[in-house]
Chain A
Amino acid sequence: MIKMTDISKSFSGNKVLKSVHFNLEKGEIHALMGENGAGKSTLMKVMSGIYTRDSGTIEVKGQKVDFTSPKQAEEAGIAVIHQELNILPHLSIADNLFLGREETIGRTGILKTKQMEKKTRQILLDLGLDVNPSEPASTLSVGKQQIVEIAKAISVDAEVIIMDEPTAALTDREIDSLFKTIRELQKRGVSFIYISHRMEEIFSLCDRITILRDGEFVGERKISETSFDEIVQMMVGRELGDRFPERKSTIGEIKLAVKGLNRKDCFEDISFELRRGEVLSIAGLMGAGRTEVAQSLFGYKKLDGGTIEFDGKQVKIDTPRKAKEMGIGYVTEDRKSEGLVVDFTVEENVSMTNFAAISKNGLISKDKERKLYDNMVKRLGIRTSGPDQTAKSLSGGNQQKVVIAKWLGIEPELLILDEPTRGVDVGAKKEIYSIINELAERGVAILMISSELPEVIGMADRVLVMHEGKITAELPKEEMTQERIMHFATGGGKLAVEKQ
């Protein structure tokens, strides 16, 4: 279908791709893996005409091509679905599907709305999605919006669909239905290139895998003939050892005790205790209210009721500022919109929570600021070109470390981590786990929200499972299995609430 040979590409002297090969067969689902910065995105941008290659050849269906614009790639049947979806939330589903190629009466510009809605309905039904096409696209869940994007691609006769981290924001159920759609299209001969960091998904969905490292082609394997360990080793170029490093912490006295927390339409009757040196995880589906609980604990969103005890004293946390002063840190779910000022340098981002430490009478001490930065870079192994590198030019894993660094500076006693490894490659994931362990060993109480069940099971001492705003189960380490957590997360355990 597509054959890319000896592709090289440099940006201002920096070789990002070095003689990379990539072969896509008709009707296969081909995974593309590599750590952040390995060159996956660049390769896909070369394939889809956003970048032009410096050297090498690209053949589509046996014919050499030379895309100079995304439009040409699209005409050749190559469609890209980006991580950030191109859905206009206020337009109807049908309008989204027909965006840019609306059907009109003659050339008048008057829309044939009814006809487009009818077609939309049919196309989406074929993909197993039964929705009213005149509703605004914002009424769809992210998972369904993604299917609308796929529908958009195939309705312009795409034969190759490139998907970049499609499941990052989906619930397990949505992932299932996305995979069903992908497999259905595969039967019709559509090929997929699937970029993801989630090993389990790749093993359950893909046929073949190509691995890149530092801009080089490392290898290609049939999924049926390879293993998890082999792929990780190919990606990082060394043995990674245990996925979840060992923790030797002693669980101490109660740091945080909440009783009957509720916020209207978000969560209710949330009660739990968290001890020093303990890693408590909150699992659940998207929208279960986990992030909302964290935001309320951090004073970012108001509580409607309930009590919070911190170190045995009842407290009221009504602003993030107050939470910070009490020694609570919050590594937010979405690092770009809530965690970082992307135009700021790494150093300036680290300083944002630490003005007290780096300034006197409102004057910033450059020396102290640099010292804090140096400290954090060393402690967390942040890879930057220097303190003046802007946060937006860092890889996802390093951005996440910067967000964590912001909070390590205040020497937190309680650290809330919301999806700490989302969109982060395996190597950086393990480093983040080590940081969490190190903090717990020092007696920091950790509250970790995560949708990745292997991570919950690998890291948590105890897990709370939430479903529709309520805690449906509390499981100690020995009782955690993916099946059990899923059971309670989907509401299955409502009647059999387990509490010790």
Chain B
Amino acid sequence: MQLKNNNQSLLQKIAPFIGLILIIVIITILNPGFLSVSNLMNVLRQVSINALIAFGMTFVILTGGIDLSVGATLALTGAVTAGMMASGIDPIFAMLLGLLLGAILGAINGIIIAKGKVAPFIATLATMTIYRGLTLVYTDGRPISGLGDSLTFQMLGKGYFLGIPIPVVTMIASFGILYFILKKTTFGRRVYAIGGNEEASILSGINADRIKIYVYSLLGLLAALASLILTSRLNSAQPTAGEMFELDAIAAVVLGGTSLTGGRGWIVGTLIGALIIGVLNNGLNLIGVPSFFQQVVKGAVILLAVLLDRKKTT
């Protein structure tokens, strides 16, 4: 009995990986140029922003929550950081403040959800609107540019380390740290516990409210990090930045096999899920699918993957 369960969950775990390979094979057959080193680096760089957010989203979804406000958080932190830099504040200090702001915006979500007992979907739907609105107020609806030539800031989005784009390095480093946290720390274990059974967790003496506030803060922090990379790449902050990013992040988490009801899943799957979305975006371009039609294909692939996954679990 038990052996069978383990096998099943193993198959479930590698299913996203098989899907990714399959998509890569199909795209490569249609356009061998996909596999060139420069294109692969390109894909990874494109993936990095969504992956960072999706990593944080994994924690939130594992606790049984959801966060729709990450796109708006990204826009607001990007705008405020850019605003500070444009007004001459030390860029490194500005970036640190930006990260802090991201964590604070996330903590606000967490506090509303944990202490106010508001359903995460509703709470973050509201803060999404508020954060986006604040961004528009702050920027007056216009992009912020003239961010100066701080090397650190420019490197963040455009630099290379040992031939690997810095955003990719950031993504891999974050992945390593977050993987470790989920797997080896009491915090990670508590995240799973709360998603698995919140009542039993509280009755075991776990401070569920605090853990929830932490995971939303972590996601806010990662969204701010993604926003710094994006702002650096574009050399400006857009008030409309990050629209629909929350959905790409959620899609990556779900493609990776993490359960939306919480308690089950892993961050490796999320990385693969983000790669699937990135490879699709890039590959559909390469094989010349018209851009309007790309969305249809992307949506269909996500649906197919999730349906296959469900089939296997039953």
The interface of chain A, by Cβ under 8 A from chain B, is 11-12, 14, 298, 300, 319-321, 323-325, 330, 332, 337-344, 348, 351-353, 355, 359, 362-364, 385-386, 388-390, 393, 406
Contact = CB atoms under 8 A, between A and B. Distances in A.
Given A337-B199, A340-B197, 15 more contacts: A321-B206, A325-B205, A332-B200, A340-B200, A341-B197, A343-B263, A348-B192, A351-B189, A352-B204, A353-B204, A359-B186, A363-B184, A363-B186, A364-B184, A385-B1
Interface in B1-40: 1-6
B183 to A, nearest CB: 9
B201 interface: yes
Interface in B143-201: 184-187, 189-190, 192-193, 196-197, 199-201
Q: Which 9 A-B pairs have the closest CB atoms?
A: A341-B196, A324-B205, A352-B204, A321-B205, A341-B197, A355-B186, A353-B204, A385-B2, A362-B185
A300 B202 contact: yes
Nearest to A321: B205
Contacts of A323: 205
Report the contact-size class of chain B (Cβ under 8 Å from the partner). 20 to 34
Interface in B199-217: 199-207
B205 A353 contact: yes
Nearest to B185: A362
Nearest to A16: B1
13 contacts: A12-B1, A300-B203, A319-B205, A325-B205, A341-B197, A342-B197, A351-B189, A352-B193, A355-B189, A359-B185, A385-B1, A388-B6, A390-B5
A332 B205 CA distance: 13
Contacts of B1: 11-12, 14, 385, 393
A343 B264 contact: yes
Contacts of B206: 321, 352
Given A12-B1, A388-B6, A362 B200 contact: no
A103 to B, nearest CB: 34
B196 A393 contact: no
Contact of A362 (B2, B6, B186, B207): B186
A339 B193 CA distance: 12
A337 B185 contact: no
A330 B204 CA distance: 8
A320 B204 CA distance: 7
Contact of B203 (A339, A348, A385): A339
Nearest to B196: A341
B199 A12 contact: no
Nearest to B262: A343
Nearest to A360: B186
Interface string B253-272: 00000000001100000000
A298 B205 CA distance: 10
A319 B209 CA distance: 12
Determine the main DSSP class of B at the interface with A.
helix
Contacts of A337: 197, 199-200
A325 B205 CA distance: 9
A353 B205 CA distance: 7
Contacts of B207: 319, 321
A11 B3 CA distance: 12
A122 B200 CA distance: 43
B203 A320 contact: yes
A56 B6 CA distance: 31
A342 B195 CA distance: 11
A348 B196 CA distance: 12
A324 B2 CA distance: 33
B201 to A, nearest CB: 7
Contacts of B204: 320, 324, 352-353, 406
A406 B205 CA distance: 11
A300 B198 CA distance: 13
A298 B199 CA distance: 13
Given A321-B207, A338-B203, A389 B2 contact: yes
A156 B205 CA distance: 48
Nearest to A385: B2
A300 to B, nearest CB: 6
Contacts of B4: 12
- With a 10 A CB-CB cut-off, give which of B190, B197, B204, B206 has the most chain A CB atoms: B204
Contacts of A321: 205-207
A385 B5 CA distance: 12
Nearest to A328: B205
B2 A342 contact: no
Interface string B205-242: 11100000000000000000000000000000000000
A364 B184 CA distance: 6
A448 to B, nearest CB: 17
B50 to A, nearest CB: 28
A340 B4 CA distance: 22
Given A359-B186, A362-B185, A332 B201 contact: no
A157 B179 CA distance: 57
A355 B197 CA distance: 17
A332 B4 CA distance: 31
A359 B184 CA distance: 10
A12 to B, nearest CB: 5
B263 A341 contact: yes
B201 A352 contact: yes
Given A352-B206, A389-B2, A406-B204, A343 B196 contact: yes
B263 A332 contact: no
B203 A330 contact: yes
Contacts of A332: 200, 203
A88 B2 CA distance: 33
A12 B203 CA distance: 36
B264 to A, nearest CB: 6
Contacts of A14: 1
B3 A12 contact: yes
Contacts of B200: 332, 337-341, 352
Nearest to B205: A324
Nearest to B263: A343
A340 B207 CA distance: 16
- With a 10 A CB-CB cut-off, give which of A14, A325, A364 has the most chain B CB atoms: A364
